[in-house]
Amino acid sequence: MVRRKVTGGTAERPLFTDILGDLIEINEIFLTLRSEGGEVRVPIDEVHRAKTVPARTTRRAAEIAALELAAARAWPAPVSERLGDWWLRSAEGFTGRANSALPVGDPGLPLPAALDAVAEFYRGLGRTPLIDVPQPLAQPVADAALKAGWLPDCTVLVQSTALDALIAATPDGAACTLHDGPSDDELALIAGSRGPLPPAALHVLTAVDRLTFARYAEEGRLLARGRGTVTDGWLGLYGIETVPSARRRGLAQSVIGRLARWGAQQGAERAFLQVESSNETAIALYARLGFATHHRYTRLALAA
């Protein structure tokens, strides 16, 4: 619950309004709540006070937890340790997802001690401590982390759609080919501005039982790619990418369409993907294909 200052009061008698909802994003400028009336963005300087209201155990909470775990299995870190129910993941710095803690469930410790254990784990590896906090599922974790000095790094939308609807919205991608592993040119495209990929990257990309890589090439030149996984009945879409010179040709839709049909053959019924909230171009594309935000997570970082 957030108590917000509103106009119309005086210095002696300020006016406030209460907003009850799930905290889905916070930074130095504003916070965003999902209330019954929709999302509400509140400037930080208008927040009088805020408090945590005990959350109900709901079907939605269970759905968020299940999808987060399916996504974690689809992007597996070679180093993955448990802190109670939490996952501590490391992959030599290859992607934030594979190098962050996932606080789903009970860590078996009071939250301040659990956060200290997360920080110790990553600092022991020479990495910046990161934690991906699903909202609103792990709101108490976010509250404790922010109080302890962790800072927001980015917000990621976890989006989903029914697989049959995705198939209906995409071309069949017949010109795309499927492969069990990434080719050298795909790895080069994945590396992009990252520089050389660490050895752990190949584990993250390939250590999934049901997995495929889709590619579209012309005259032997790779123009578009994507990775598909099936975990816990979900088709996960990763790394949908088109080279700059081939954009605006619908190649990303073709890759997604090819992966969607593969996922259906593997028994998946729904599809998900993850996209940073700042990537407006990708979000617009996925919206046209029927994706909607299932939930969000905020990545928090603890500076040295």
- Determine whether domain 161-297 maps to CATH 3.40.630.30: yes
Question: Would you say residue 14 has pLDDT above 80?
Answer: no
| Per-residue pLDDT, 262 | 99
Domains in the chain: boundaries: 2-50, 59-154, 161-297
| Per-residue pLDDT, 278 | 95
Confidence of residue 227 (pLDDT cuts 50, 70, 90): very high
Mind listing the pLDDT tens digit for each residue in 282-294? 999 999 999 999 9
SS3 track for the chain: CEEEEECCCCCCCCEEEEECCEEEEECCCEEEEEECCEEEEEEHHHEEEECCCCCCCCHHHHHHHHHHHHHHHHCCCCEEEEECCEEEEECCCCCCHHHCEECCCCCCCCHHHHHHHHHHHHHHCCCCCEEEEEECCCHHHHHHHHHCCCEEEEEEEEEEEEHHHHHHHCCCCCCCEEECCCCHHHHHHHHHHHCCCCHHHHHHHHCCCCEEEEEEEECCEEEEEEEEEEECCEEEEEEEEECHHHCCCCHHHHHHHHHHHHHHHCCCCEEEEEEECCCHHHHHHHHHCCCEEEEEEEEEECCC
Determine what percent of the chain is predicted with pLDDT higher than 90. 78
Mind listing the pLDDT tens digit for each residue in 185-212? 999 999 986 788 999 999 999 999 999 9
